[in-house]
Amino acid sequence: MLNSIFHRLNVSRLGKVGFSTTSIYNQPKTAVLMLNMGGPETTDEVHDYLLRIMTDRDMIQLPVQGKLGPWIAQRRTPEVQKKYKEIGGGSPILKWTNTQGELMCKELDKISPETGPHKHYVGFRYVRPFTEDTLSEIERDKPERVVIFSQYPQYSCATSGSSFNSIYDHYKKNKLPSNIKFSVIDRWATHPLLVKVFAERIKAELIKFPEDKRKDVVLLFSAHSLPLKAVNRGDAYPSEVGASVEMVMKELVYSNPHCLAWQSKVGPLPWLEPATDDALKGYVKRGHKNFILVPIAFVNEHIETLHELDIEYCDELAKEIGVEQIKRAAAPNDHPIFIQALADVVATHLKSNKLINPKFLIRCPLCVNPRCSESKGWYKHICQSAI
């Protein structure tokens, strides 16, 4: 009976704030804060989710943002709600992140017992559990160490940067705990096990093509696009995504033709190209008929894989332009190799003397956001033993 009550309590808390089930009976020695933008679990949450994105100047810069941002959010809500309904009514990001975190901590307890018990926490930028609320929860649990672990393998100021800045914002208003050691994992785009899991996901789809056509299947890597304005300021994201693609192809011994394309552009300004849908159209015109889409910058399924890639491109667009066969490689999700990757990234970090990556502390060469300067100065201070 008592075990059952504890189990139900933990499941309830897990769904709301992202706790690991591995350490509910123990005070964690190491907290791993998993950062991501999150996604609405229900269609009722879509408007507020969009509003937070459209008013976040780290994510997107708009003229008269205080007025234009809310207008865009309101205008786009019905369309985005419809898309979420078509993939089951909400985003699975929280479910996947909790699953990944729980399995990662179990692995960490095995491979790094000296830093355990480990406990994962989820900090989302635009939906619950919000990063600032999770930080308060971590403080109440009083771990010795907090590893702030970005779940974006490739760093961008618009995504990773916004999440890290939100932590700085929280501690501008709240006292930093003096008895907790903080450290940062800001990027891990070329980790060998991350590379391997993407290669394995591709192989799992390649085998579904007829043997005589398999070597000609085009591997179309797809990542969320970025405004050229941000790229021209020096954002590292495009080069880090490209590095991931190159490492995956090396793992595959360059078995197939491949290309990197960009999805999810918003608004009229120039973004990274080619767009994924345009790349598909262009290749079909040139006689290529078989494809695998690879979501190279996403570690779990969400609307951009389940709707944009699966429904809009692999189904609707493929039929329209005459694709012969198209598959989509699954995101890493809970693949055992990916769980090993997460655990290895954290364990290696914990065993090193570096609390922070020097690259994280330098701004883009043409950065125009003074908040970044303040934030990076703060991180340098709290992780000063790493410098």
Find the catalytic residue in 47, 118, 120, 191: 191
Amino acid identity at 209: F
Find the catalytic residue in 56, 58, 235, 344: 344
**Active-site residue, 235 included:** no
**Active-site residue, 186 included:** no
Q: At what angle do helices 46-54 and 65-86 cross, to 10 degrees?
A: 140
Instruction: State the Cα–Cα distance between residues 166 and 161, nearest whole angstrom.
Output: 9
3-state secondary structure the chain: CHHHHHHHHHHHHHHHHCCCCCCCCCCCCEEEEEEECCCCCCHHHHHHHHHHHHCCCCCCCCCCHHHHHHHHHHHHHHHHHHHHHHCCCCCCHHHHHHHHHHHHHHHHHHHCHHHCCEEEEEEECCCCCEHHHHHHHHHHHCCCEEEEEECCCCCCCCCHHHHHHHHHHHHHHCCCCCCCEEEEECCCCCCHHHHHHHHHHHHHHHCCCCCCCHHHCEEEEEEECCEHHHHHHCCCHHHHHHHHHHHHHHHCCCCCCEEEEEECCCCCCCECCCEHHHHHHHHHHCCCCEEEEEECCCCCCCHHHHHHHHHHHHHHHHHHHCCCEEEECCCCCCCHHHHHHHHHHHHHHHHCCCCCCHHHHCCCCCCCCHHHHHHHHHHHHHCHHHC
Instruction: State the Cα–Cα distance between residues 72 and 50, nearest whole angstrom.
Output: 8
Sign of torsion over alpha carbons 23, 26, 31, 35: positive
Catalytic site residues?
191, 344
